[in-house]
Amino acid sequence: MNADDGVQMSEQSGVRDGSGAMFDTIAADYDRVNAVISLGFDRGWRRELVARLALAPDEPCEVLDVACGTGDVAVAIARAHPQARVVGLDASASMLDLARDKARARALGGRLRFQLGDAQRLPFDSARFAACCMAFGIRNMNDRLAVVREMARVTRPGGMVAVLELGVPRGRVTGPLGRFYIQHLVPRLGGWLSGGPHAYRYLERSVAAFPPPGEVVELLRRANLEDGAAIALSFGACHLFVGRVPSR
Ligand SMILES: C[S@@+](CC[C@H](N)C(=O)[O-])C[C@H]1O[C@@H](n2cnc3c(N)ncnc32)[C@H](O)[C@@H]1O
């Protein structure tokens, strides 16, 4: 379920699909396109992710948002938890610039910090964060096990690791509709709205190639997380994967 699935490493113009360099090329349009192609569901999915971090209300804490992109999850955490400080890490400098602008515009700059880095080698001490999350990033990673292990490593014992990722609905009606939407409409809409269809064809291919929820839960277990679970959102159009770092 890693680089060898044939999708993660495909190349175009020297830019690896799903990499920070690819997101640099679409950063300016990312939020707008995202809101349209997710039909607005993405906000609710991110809210659910924040809720599942199970942060103690009103307790000062530090949270890590991996592959933070333009910072929507980090902002949602900071708004839901006024005592929380959030570090967002991403491999795209352009996405991070937009995240910083967003934090400043919402007067959250003091509690949000964004830095460039690779999810597979997190530049943080072990057990530093109260919780760690990632939204729509794991699909793009070469070594997914390394990423989840790193997320578990930097989270303190008892803390939650939560990973949100797109999927294809599997119901009798929602399955064919979802597949049609993601295979035919998303690449066209994305290409039309951003002027760069390649990234949105990649999105369709990478969602189709993403492993089924049971395999991702197994990945959490291999990363030494306990109580691993997959929660289907919007008929499986998205899954939230959660696990807890074992208490010492
Ligand atoms: C689909 S975007 C998701 C952004 C954001 N989390 C959201 O909810 O909209 C995927 C992000 O993963 C980042 N990314 C890709 N490979 C990465 C890596 N190895 N380490 C850190 N970030 C990475 C990209 O730069 C991009 O911003």
Q: Which residues line ligand 1 (CB under 6 A)?
A: 18-20, 23, 67-69, 72-73, 90-92, 95, 118-120, 135-137, 140-141
pLDDT in tens, 18-52: 889 889 988 998 898 888 888 888 999 999 999 99
Q: Report whether pLDDT(98) > 80.
A: yes
pLDDT above 70 coverage of the chain, percent: 93
Mutate to test the pocket of ligand 1, among 23, 96, 194 (most ligand atoms within 8 A of CB): 23
Q: Is the pTM of this model over 0.85?
A: yes
Q: How far is the CA of 135 from the centre of ligand 1 (A)?
A: 8
Query: What is the structure's pLDDT at 158?
Result: 97
Element (H, E) at 29: helix 20-37
The CA-CA-CA angle for residues 116, 233, 55, to 5°, reads 55
Residue 71: phi, psi to the nearest 5? 90, 15
pLDDT in tens, 184-233: 777 777 777 776 666 677 777 888 889 999 999 999 999 999 999 999 99
pLDDT in tens, 52-81: 999 998 889 999 999 999 999 999 999 999
Q: How far is the CA of 67 from the centre of ligand 1 (A)?
A: 4
Q: How many CA atoms lie within 13 A of 70 on its CB side?
A: 16
Mutate to test the pocket of ligand 1, among 86, 90, 97, 207 (most ligand atoms within 8 A of CB): 90
